[in-house]
Amino acid sequence: MAVTDLTFETPTDADWETLVCFMRAFCEEDGHPYGPGNERALKVLLDTPLHGRVVLLRHRGAAAGYAALCYGFSLEFNGRDAFLDEIYVDPAFRGLGIGSRALERLKEIAIADGIVALHLEVMEENAGAARLYERTGFHRRPTRLMTCRLEPDAAA
């Protein structure tokens, strides 16, 4: 289904509370810790375009979700890469094709910013999201993402 009444906006200060509500809901749904560190990181990302982009999704003018692209660099992928660090569609807007359209638009944004590879994580139990990602061109790799937190209270 083609969603034609979906817009992708760079958030303004007026959108802060909406973004925070979406971020909190995203973390709760996926079982991630949430705290002041999340909001500090969001503020840095919003204020520093070199780090990436935050996009507010609007369906017919109503805030429907958000996404965060975080930029890096990879020798393996021959240049600038990015993580689709978070993508969230409010439950009231799911099933309308917003996720598919958002993923396509996020790829366009990344390409325009010189990104050559886009990565994401999906929870093993989130089969619906995994199917969506596969339909939009993401593939499993024979690697395992591993993490070492360097800041013990990063989630706080």
Q: What is the pLDDT of residues 54-104, one digit of tens each?
A: 999 999 999 999 999 999 999 999 999 999 999 999 999 999 999 999 999
Q: Confidence band (pLDDT; 50, 70, 90) for 123?
A: confident
Q: Report whether pLDDT(152) > 70.
A: no
Task: List the one residue out of 80, 120, 72 whose CA is nearest residue 99.
Answer: 120
The two three-digit tokens of residue 11, written as one number: 């958030």
Q: What's the pTM?
A: 0.89
Architecture of domain 6-135: 3-Layer(aba) Sandwich (3.40)
Confidence at residue 151, expressed as pLDDT on a 0 to 100 scale = 78
d(CA 60, CA 125): 31
DSSP characters for 62-129? EEEEEEEEEEEEETTTTEEEEEEEEEEE-GGGTTSSHHHHHHHHHHHHHHHTT--EEE----TT-HHH
Among the listed residues 18, 6, 28, the one whose alpha carbon sits nearest the alpha carbon of residue 100: 6
**Domain ranges in the chain?**
6-135
